[in-house]
Amino acid sequence: MRVRVPLLAAALAALSFTGQAFAHARLIESIPAADSSVGASPTEINLRFNEPIEARFSGIDLSGPDGAAVSTGATASRDQGMTVPVQGPLVPGVYHVGWHALSADGHKLEGSFKFEVRP
């Protein structure tokens, strides 16, 4: 019985640190917000993460209501975020934002969301 108590304590301690070991960067904010509806065409798309990302391995793609790529400028990344300027006003409709990033801890991330530009 004496051996079980230290083993149980060690197992519980190991499990309590598991969440920290598997924590990776994640998207915490976007402008425009995911699934939002905006009254004016955004001039840029901004993403913010909870940890730093590697700029040269990160990017944002934007496609329009017809599924075609929308012209954007170069993606600028710094610290925990990245921004891409939108070239010209967006017509009303639903837009798809796809993004990929490499977190500072070396893990690849990707995701997508939509937003709507109202007339």
CATH number at residue 39: 2.60.40.1220
Lowest average pLDDT, out of 5-14, 73-82, 101-110, goes to 5-14
pLDDT in tens, 42-58: 999 999 999 999 988 99
Q: How far apart are CA 88 and CA 10, in angstroms?
A: 59
Domain span at 107: 24-117
Q: Does residue 7 lie in a domain region?
A: no
CB 95 within 8 A of CB 115: yes
Q: Does residue 109 lie in a domain region?
A: yes
pLDDT at 104: 86
Q: Does residue 9 lie in a domain region?
A: no
Q: In this structure, how many other beta carbons lie within 10 angstroms of the beta carbon of residue 91?
A: 13
* Number of compact structural domains in the chain: 1
Residue range 6-16: average pLDDT? 53
Q: What is the pTM of this model?
A: 0.79
pLDDT in tens, 34-93: 999 999 999 999 999 999 999 889 999 999 999 999 999 999 988 899 999 999 999 999
pLDDT at 78: 86
Q: Does residue 45 lie in a domain region?
A: yes
Q: Does residue 96 lie in a domain region?
A: yes
Q: Does residue 2 lie in a domain region?
A: no
Q: In this structure, how many other beta carbons lie within 10 angstroms of the beta carbon of residue 63?
A: 16
